[in-house]
């Protein structure tokens, strides 16, 4: 890879193997739920990234059972990876969590010392974090990167955001003055690289420099699209369509990235959605 690392990735089938080879990655047939295959997969590895996820499509997200596989990947998958990593002598393990486990704090800044308040579908993310902590307590380097909401040209939610904006609808749900933590997807990827190279064991928030309120996000998107205004969906409509599982998206979370900046020197290229929205590829 460009960073000089040899990268190995789990492949569940032949199609996955082909895609990984095309990306310059060594595929290995293994499953997060088959410990014996993981022991082979992680042999001689210096670091492990637990990047697997299975977020259900928006139409299915109101159903609690639609999140079962993602829960299993986070909790059981993390436990099996930590077991395999400890046995193989791996020195570093990284898990990308989510900042949405924090409570609604209004305009108060949130940092890594803020107590969490997860909804049901976020419990498994904290279970994965606990496994990373278990890895660290064994004398290894366990890193959790709590990511803000991803956005960028290739991100599905961003494509949907732009599609709705063509109908003068903004998809930022919650109070007008509620803050929404975001991170440009390429900045998130760079944070993973910097964490592997420089970060001590611990939990870090990966968000942009200037969290914006819902009303500010709506205005920034309208400006980027040369629209006078965008209509934000009411909270009752969101609850009706999305159900309880994603109600954390209506919280106000003004999250700081200062700890990670201090430890690694990382800084987001896209400091604010005011800039990022202008960079999104706008469909015709």
pLDDT of the residue at 239: 67
Cβ count within 10 A of residue 18: 12
- For 89, 101, 265, the CA distances from 84, given in Å and listed in that order, are 9, 27, 31
pLDDT of the residue at 88: 95
pLDDT of the residue at 28: 87
Token code pair at residue 137: 């307590």
Token code pair at residue 227: 């629209």
Going from N- to C-terminal start, the domains of the chain cover: 31-279
pLDDT of the residue at 159: 92
First to last CA, the chain: 35
What is the pTM for the complete model shown? 0.92
Token code pair at residue 104: 């609604």
Who's near 36: CB < 8 A, 6+ residues apart? none
Architecture of domain 31-279: 3-Layer(aba) Sandwich (3.40)
d(CA 138, CA 154): 38
pLDDT of the residue at 2: 56
- Residue spans of the chain under pLDDT 50: 1, 284
d(CA 237, CA 166): 19
């Amino acid at each position: 890879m460009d960073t000089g690392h040899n990268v190995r990735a789990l492949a569940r089938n032949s199609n996955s193997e082909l895609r990984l080879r095309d990306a310059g990655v060594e595929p290995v047939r293994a499953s997060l739920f088959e410990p014996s295959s993981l022991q082979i997969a992680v042999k001689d590895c210096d670091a492990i990234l637990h990047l697997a996820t299975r977020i259900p499509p928006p139409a299915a997200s109101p159903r609690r059972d639609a999140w079962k596989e993602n829960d299993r990947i986070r909790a059981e998958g993390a436990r099996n990876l930590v077991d395999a990593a400890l046995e193989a002598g791996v020195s570093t393990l990284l898990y990308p969590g989510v900042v949405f486990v924090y409570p609604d704090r209004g305009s108060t800044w949130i940092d890594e010392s803020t107590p969490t308040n997860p909804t049901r579908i976020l419990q498994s993310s904290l279970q994965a974090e606990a496994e990373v902590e278990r890895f660290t307590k064994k004398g290894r380097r366990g890193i959790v990167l709590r990511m803000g909401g991803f956005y960028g040209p290739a991100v599905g939610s961003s494509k949907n955001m732009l599609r709705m904006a063509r109908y003068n609808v903004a998809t930022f749900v919650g109070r007008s003055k509620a803050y929404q933590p975001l991170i440009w997807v390429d900045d998130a990827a760079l944070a993973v690289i910097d964490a592997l190279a420089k970060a001590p064991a611990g939990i870090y928030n990966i968000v942009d420099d200037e969290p914006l309120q819902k009303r500010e996000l709506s205005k920034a998107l309208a400006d980027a699209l040369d629209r006078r205004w965008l209509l934000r969906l009411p909270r009752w409509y969101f609850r009706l369509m999305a159900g309880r599982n994603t109600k954390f998206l209506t919280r106000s979370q003004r999250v700081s990235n200062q700890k990670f900046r201090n430890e690694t020197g990382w800084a987001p290229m896209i400091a604010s959605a005011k800039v990022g929205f202008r960079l999104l590829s706008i469909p015709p």
